[in-house]
Amino acid sequence: MRRAFLFSLLFLIATGPTWAQRPGGGGGGGGGGRVERDFKHVDADDDGRISREEWAGRGNFDLLDEDGDGTLSLQEMTGIYRNRPWGRFAGTPSPNEQDATAAADKIPASNLPRSLLCALEVGAGCRAGDWAERGLLDTGLGPRFPKGTLCPGIDDYFAMSYVFKRSQSDALHGGTDIPVAWDTPILAAASGTVVGIYEGESSMRGREIILRHAPQDTGLPFWTYTEYAHLNARPNLSVGDKVAMGQIIAVTGNSGTSGQGGGHRRPAIHFAAWMAEGPRYADSGSSIVPENGFWLDPIGFYRDAPPYDSASLKNLPPEQKSTPVGVITNDGTVLPTGSKRIWPYSCLSK
Ligand SMILES: [Zn+2]
């Protein structure tokens, strides 16, 4: 109860209006319809309350459960869209270096099997079986932020079914969505190199940037890629630029065709990751596709030990699904100290 009281107090101090509708216009319809629809979707047993189990994979349950009764009401769920002063880190200076290997490792997209291009980009006409084989599976992982920090959580998690929001018979979410206020700075989740920037005018993901991370950048025993989409402005970076972990690479928006239409707008990052044993990759024209690549659950990206493949992550015992993630706070502190991978938004120190 004491904990619930403290969280209520934090709400009073740290929260402002919700930002489902962009101040000053340009945001389209409000987010109310979306929240109600999503609440119904999350409330799988339809009892009018969201349990901890139903919220699994999204993080921040205790923060949102204002009255501490162990369930979320519709009103409490809207707390995920409340403006909080996270994401105010002033940024790490750009290394101002070019990575010549990024161009050298690029191969023609025509060299890759069509099934791979399809499976990693979730294009129309792709088969659900291809996605699953390549790791687009609901693993049940959720983020656990370091003690003493408050960070923005997830609303739409990795590989959740999108059949309810897209008029397709099978549709899966190829990433994780973290809703935050418009123009909140997005941080490079690890050091790496810019390998793709897309305007995405006809893409559901809209404007996006993709980074490639060498094993030494992340401490992971393979090459990884992170994707940041729905950007509000074109990143002030070019393909081949090196970036440092925590560097501000873009600002949050809701660009892309998925953001159009009434009731669906809310600014958020669509954050995704892939992995591959080797460094080679292709540019399909609308995304980066690693040679023999696999989806990496964006929460799995933060694990310090195997497994990393989605099928094994899915089979982890429930107590191992809550995954500690590294963060950078608004004052630039990296937690835990020495982390090589951080959440793509800065967090508050409590
Ligand atoms: Zn998304």
**For the chain, domain boundaries:** 2-81, 100-349
Q: Ligand 1 centre from 69 Cα, in Å?
A: 30
pLDDT-based confidence at 10, cuts 50/70/90?
very low
Cα 188 from Cα 343, distance rounded (Å) = 8
Burial string for 144-156 (b: 16+ CB within 10 Å, else e) reads bbbeebbbbbbbb
Tell me what pLDDT residue 167 has: 61
pLDDT digits (tens, 9 = 90+) for 270-304: 999 999 999 999 999 999 999 999 999 999 999 99
Q: Ligand 1 centre from 4 Cα, in Å?
A: 30
Alpha-carbon dihedral of residues 327, 57, 185, 326, nearest 10 degrees? Answer: 10
Tell me what pLDDT residue 202 has: 86
Fold matches, 2-81 and 100-349: no
Higher pLDDT, 232 or 169: 232
Q: Ligand 1 centre from 141 Cα, in Å?
A: 16
* Assigned token pair, 114: 């069509």
**Rounded alpha-carbon distances, angstroms, from residue 30 to 34, 156, 269:** 8, 18, 18
pLDDT for 266 beyond 90 = no
Q: Ligand 1 centre from 276 Cα, in Å?
A: 22
Cα 30 from Cα 42, distance rounded (Å) = 20
Quick one: average pLDDT of 101-119? 94
Neighbours of 75 (CB within 10 A): 11
Strand ranges across the sheet with 106-107: 106-107, 281-283, 288-290
Q: Ligand 1 centre from 334 Cα, in Å?
A: 26
The answer to whether the CB of 328 falls within 8 A of the CB of 311 is: no
pLDDT-based confidence at 126, cuts 50/70/90?
confident
Q: Ligand 1 centre from 2 Cα, in Å?
A: 35
Tell me what pLDDT residue 34 has: 78
Cα 163 from Cα 200, distance rounded (Å) = 22
How many CA atoms, within 13 angstroms, populate the side-chain half-sphere of residue 71?
12
What does R_g of the chain's alpha carbons equal in angstroms? 19
How many CA atoms, within 13 angstroms, populate the side-chain half-sphere of residue 326?
24
Higher pLDDT, 70 or 132: 70
pLDDT for 194 beyond 90 = yes
How many CA atoms, within 13 angstroms, populate the side-chain half-sphere of residue 53?
3
Class of CATH domain 100-349: mainly beta
pLDDT for 186 beyond 80 = yes
pLDDT digits (tens, 9 = 90+) for 212-240: 999 999 999 999 999 999 999 999 999 99
Cα 153 from Cα 60, distance rounded (Å) = 6
pLDDT-based confidence at 201, cuts 50/70/90?
confident
Burial string for 316-335 (b: 16+ CB within 10 Å, else e) reads beeeebebbbbbbbbeeebb
pLDDT-based confidence at 135, cuts 50/70/90?
very high
Cα 63 from Cα 51, distance rounded (Å) = 14
Quick one: average pLDDT of 66-88? 93
pLDDT for 35 beyond 70 = yes
Cα 76 from Cα 68, distance rounded (Å) = 10
pLDDT for 69 beyond 80 = yes
Tell me what pLDDT residue 259 has: 66
Q: Which residues pair with 106 in a beta bridge?
A: 281
Q: Ligand 1 centre from 94 Cα, in Å?
A: 27
Q: Ligand 1 centre from 198 Cα, in Å?
A: 16
pLDDT for 9 beyond 70 = no
As a whole number, the mean pLDDT across the chain is 88
**Rounded alpha-carbon distances, angstroms, from residue 301 to 43, 126, 239:** 27, 25, 23
CATH number of 2-81: 1.10.238
Q: Ligand 1 centre from 104 Cα, in Å?
A: 30
- This prediction's pTM: 0.89
